[in-house]
Amino acid sequence: MLQLDSFVPATTWSERGLLARSVGRRPAVVVSLTAIALFALFTAMATAPAALAGTIFPGQYQLLDHPDGSENPPPYGLRVDALGYTFSVETGGANIVLDWDGGATASITGTLWNNQLSEMWTVDYQLTGVVAAPADLGFTAAAGSGLLTSPALVGTVLTGEPAGGTGPVFQFLADGDRLGGHPAFGDADTPVGRGWILPIGSTDDWLVRATLVPEPGTALLLGLGLAGLARTRRR
């Protein structure tokens, strides 16, 4: 009985066999890549410090406005009554980060949105005498100083003031300070930063919430995991 395939040249049979073997391998390769990606994704999720409530690890934290405060609205993260301004750390394109490597110093740097003038200012505030709190709950700082700068490059010196005249000038603790009446913004484990600033006699202070910025390695693992899931879905 004559078969139509018998007219196919032998070289084509070889090519088709190679193609079949190649295609046969592809599902296995995709499965392997997906398995690796999923493992990376779950590993990143399991080891990400942000997943552990009530802890503050050394790293970089994105600062957010705190919902509590007598000048709310508009929301703010820095209040400087000596100048007559409040500053948002997240609206208008503001971007403020707190960096702490676990040592005796930390910094608060970036851009602030002036709520009254509707313009961007910059700040560079350095914390010294940093002491880690027990049980990874954060840290306190004995002193703070820095510069708040307007778009016209007019600088205002910021100097930390101990609350009540004694104690730390800044606290960064996973205690959800003053968030009890604002459940949408966090709970008792949310990292909150607060600290007074001179001059005495006016209300000048930091009051911010914070969220940990993932390390590049963690972000890469998450990306690999998501890419693997997307590729599997297309297959």
- CB-based contacts of 168: which residues, under 8 Å, 6+ apart? 140, 141, 142, 162, 195
Helix (H, G, I), strand (E, B) or coil at 20: helix
Tokens of 108: 């608060």
Answer whether residue 143 is part of any domain: yes
Q: Does the N-terminal peptide bond of residue 74 adopt cis geometry, omega within 30 degrees of 0?
A: yes
125: left (phi over 0), alpha (psi -120 to 50) or beta: beta
pLDDT of residue 234: 58
- C-alpha 58/C-alpha 189 separation (Å) is 16
Residue type at 167 in one-letter notation: G
- C-alpha 130/C-alpha 95 separation (Å) is 23
Looking at the fold, whether 30 and 73 belong to one and the same domain comes out as no
Looking at the fold, whether 31 and 68 belong to one and the same domain comes out as no
Closest CA to 128 of 106, 97, 159: 106
pLDDT of residue 235: 54
Tokens of 81: 């009554």
Task: Decide if 70 contacts 193 (C-beta within 8 A).
Answer: no
Domains in the chain: how many in total?
Answer: 2
Answer whether residue 144 is part of any domain: yes
Looking at the fold, whether 19 and 82 belong to one and the same domain comes out as no
Read off the CATH number of the domain in which 103 is found: 2.40.128
Place of tokens 């990292």: 191
Q: Buried b vs exposed e over 187-196: b needs ≥16 C-beta within 10 Å? A: eeebbbbbbb
Looking at the fold, whether 229 and 134 belong to one and the same domain comes out as no
pLDDT in tens, 41-93: 444 434 444 436 689 999 999 999 999 987 788 999 999 999 999 999 999 99
Looking at the fold, whether 220 and 208 belong to one and the same domain comes out as no
Q: Give Cα separations from 94 to 2, 77, 103, 192, 212 (angstroms).
A: 78, 11, 27, 18, 17
Looking at the fold, whether 94 and 28 belong to one and the same domain comes out as no
Looking at the fold, whether 22 and 78 belong to one and the same domain comes out as no
Looking at the fold, whether 112 and 149 belong to one and the same domain comes out as yes
Looking at the fold, whether 171 and 192 belong to one and the same domain comes out as yes
What's the start-to-end Cα distance of the chain, in Å? 39
CA torsion, ordered 73, 162, 185, 100, to nearest 10 deg: 120
pLDDT, averaged per 10 consecutive residues of the chain (235 residues), comes to 40 45 47 46 41 82 94 91 94 97 98 98 98 95 97 96 88 96 94 90 89 71 51 55
Answer whether residue 15 is part of any domain: yes
Looking at the fold, whether 153 and 77 belong to one and the same domain comes out as yes
pLDDT of residue 228: 54
Q: Which domain holds residue 224?
A: 9-48+215-234
Query: What values do phi and psi take at 26, rounded to 5?
Result: -60, -45
pLDDT of residue 54: 82
pLDDT of residue 16: 45
pLDDT of residue 71: 79
pLDDT of residue 34: 47
